[in-house]
Amino acid sequence: MLEIRMVTRRFGNKVAVSGVDLAIDDGQMVGIIGRSGAGKSTLLRMINRLIDPSEGAISFAGVEVSALRGAALRSWQRDCAMIFQQFNLVPRLDVVSNVLHGTLNRRSTLSTVFSLYPTEDIHTAIDILDRLGIADHAAKRVEALSGGQQQRVAIARALMQDPKIILADEPIASLDPMNAQIVMDTLRRIHDEDGRMIVCNLHTLDTARRYCDRVVGMRDGLVVFDGAPDELTTAVAREIYGADENFSESSTSTSIEPLEPVYRPDREPAYAL
């Protein structure tokens, strides 16, 4: 279980995250929604310790990860992989090398400098790419791929760490609706098949409803909603997005239209119109 206890983060006078208290069970897929500036990225970045909380504590499986240092901190960052909106890949490098970068923080400096990857790791990388349907692109430079394919390479790199948690910070915000759907389907499939915890920042309500088991709504650094997707009514959405009665859900929609059944074994499949 991931426990976030009364976590606050300040930047100067600005309170980006304010007294957030959340417990997330192993194997949950949680969507965090809210308008720009609500504190979603700051919360995610504190979980994997890209930044530290100003107050409060974050624990995983009973270990206070917000207090870890040195090798123990690096080990936590391996357990907790992060995916970003802009993919954060090396564009001029080939796909496999980018995926192998997921092993960097467990390899020696020497082997890293000379890009010496064990054959076993190369096979694992190809297997992961195959699983994500992009093994055919393994030898291509990342810059030659579409945004959706690049995000799947980033997911493959995360899986190379064999993480317990995947943190995804607006993973589909730069993608067209079709690629957005492919990437969200991929994350959901990883969650369902591997039982990994996924915490995903999303701008859009419809995506959170469609893919997540639980939705957390943030506004001005505070958690203002925490519940099941079907509890996310228009009135609740207004509260989260701070909109008046003219609020329209379409303003937060990605317009994802399923082309194939959405992979949700616990739900009726949604088919293309």
Ligand X SMILES: Nc1ncnc2c1ncn2[C@@H]1O[C@H](COP(=O)(O)OP(=O)(O)OP(=O)(O)O)[C@@H](O)[C@H]1O
Q: Give min distance, CB of 218 to ligand X, in A.
A: 7
Encode 257-273: b = buried (16+ Cβ within 10 Å), e = exposed: eeeeebbbeeeeeeeee
Choice from 4, 7, 16, 159 touching ligand X (CB under 6 A)? 16
Question: What residues form DSSP beta bridges with 2?
Answer: 24, 60
Options 32-40, 74-82, 189-197, 208-216: segment touching ligand X (CB under 6 A): 32-40
Smallest gap, in angstroms, from Cβ of residue 22 to ligand X? 15
- 94 beta partners: 141
Nearer Cβ to ligand X (34/163):
34
- Selected from 22, 30, 33, 38, the binder of ligand X by CB under 6 A is 38
| Residue of 31, 34, 102, 217 interacting with ligand X (CB under 6 A) | 34
Nearer to ligand X, 104 or 224 (CB): 224
Rounded Cα gap, residues 9 and 52, in angstroms = 8
Q: Which of 37, 56, 229, 258 contacts ligand X by CB under 6 A?
A: 37
> Site residues for ligand X, window 39-98 (CB under 6 A)?
39-42
Contact 154, 78 (CB under 8 A): no
The minimum distance between CB 266 and ligand X, in angstroms, equals 28
Stretch that binds ligand X, among 35-43, 54-62, 98-106, 243-251 (CB under 6 A): 35-43
Chain residues in the site for ligand X (CB under 6 A): 11, 14, 16, 34, 36-42
